[in-house]
A and B are shown apart, each in its own frame.
Chain A
Amino acid sequence: MGWAISVHGGAGDIPLSLPPEKRLPREAGLRRCLDVGIAALKAHNHPLDVVELVVRELENNPHFNAGKGSVLTTSGTVEMEACIMDGKTMKCGAVSGVSTVVNAISLARLVMDKTPHIYLAFDGAEAFAREQGLETVEMSHFITPENIERLKQAQEADRVQLDYTQPIQKEVPKDAALADGDSQIGTVGCVAVDNEGNLATATSTGGIVNKMVGRIGDTPIIGAGTYANHLCAVSATGRGEAIIRGTIARDVAAVMEFKGLSLKEAAAYVIDQVPRGNAGLVAVSSTGEVAMPFNTTGMFRACATEDGYSEIAIWDSPTK
Chain B
Amino acid sequence: MGAWAIAVHGGAGVDPNLPKERQEEAKRLLTRCLDIGISALRSNLSAIDVVELVVRELETDPLFNSGRGSALTENGKVEMEASIMDGPKRRCGAVSGLTTVKNPVSLARLVMEKSPHSYLAFSGAEEFAKKQGVEMVDNEYFITEDNVGMLKLAKEANSILFDYRIPAVGTCGASAAMDSPLQMNGLPISVYAPETVGCVVVDKQGRCAAATSTGGLMNKMSGRIGDSPLIGSGTYASELCGVSCTGEGEAIIRSTLAREVSAVMEYKRLKLHEAVDYVIKNKLDEGKAGLIAVSKDGEVACGFNTTGMFRGCATEDGFMEVGVW
Contact = CB atoms under 8 A, between A and B. Distances in A.
A173 B125 CA distance: 37
A253 to B, nearest CB: 9
Interface stretch (B35-43, B58-66, B248-256): B248-256
Interface in A112-133: 115-125, 127-128
B97 interface: yes
Contacts of B232: 221-224, 244, 247, 250
Of B118, B236, B260, the most chain A CB neighbours within 10 A belong to B118
B187 interface: yes
A120 B224 contact: yes
B27 interface: no
Measured as residues with beta carbon below 8 angstroms from the partner, the interface class of chain A is 35 or more
B228 to A, nearest CB: 11
Interface residues of B, number: 49
Interface in B76-102: 90-92, 94, 96-97
Contacts of A245: 90-92, 118, 231
A194 interface: no
A18 interface: no
Given A221-B232, A224-B231, A97 B118 contact: no
Interface stretch (B15-23, B262-270, B293-301): B262-270
Given A90-B254, A119-B253, A222-B230, A254 B267 contact: yes
A215 B115 CA distance: 10
Given A222-B254, A245-B90, A250-B232, A116 B185 contact: yes
Contacts of A160: 116
B189 to A, nearest CB: 6
Nearest to B73: A124
Nearest to B257: A223
Given A119-B253, A250-B256, A214 B123 contact: yes
B124 interface: yes
Interface string B234-259: 00100000000000011001111001
Contact of B223 (A124, A216, A222, A244): A124
Contact of B123 (A213, A247, A250, A254): A213
Contacts of A152: none
Contacts of A255: 267
A213 B119 CA distance: 11
A241 B256 CA distance: 17
Contacts of B25: none
A247 B259 contact: yes
Nearest to A258: B267
A90 B254 CA distance: 6
Given A223-B259, A250-B259, A214 B223 contact: no
A217 B230 CA distance: 11
A117 B264 contact: no
Contacts of A123: 122, 222-223
A258 B266 CA distance: 9
23 contacts: A90-B285, A96-B225, A118-B250, A119-B230, A122-B121, A123-B122, A128-B223, A213-B124, A214-B121, A214-B123, A214-B125, A222-B233, A222-B256, A223-B232, A241-B117, A244-B92, A244-B119, A244-B231, A245-B90, A247-B256, A250-B263, A254-B259, A258-B267
Interface of A: 90-92, 94, 96-97, 115-125, 127-128, 160, 211-217, 221-224, 227, 240-241, 244-247, 250-251, 254-255, 258-259
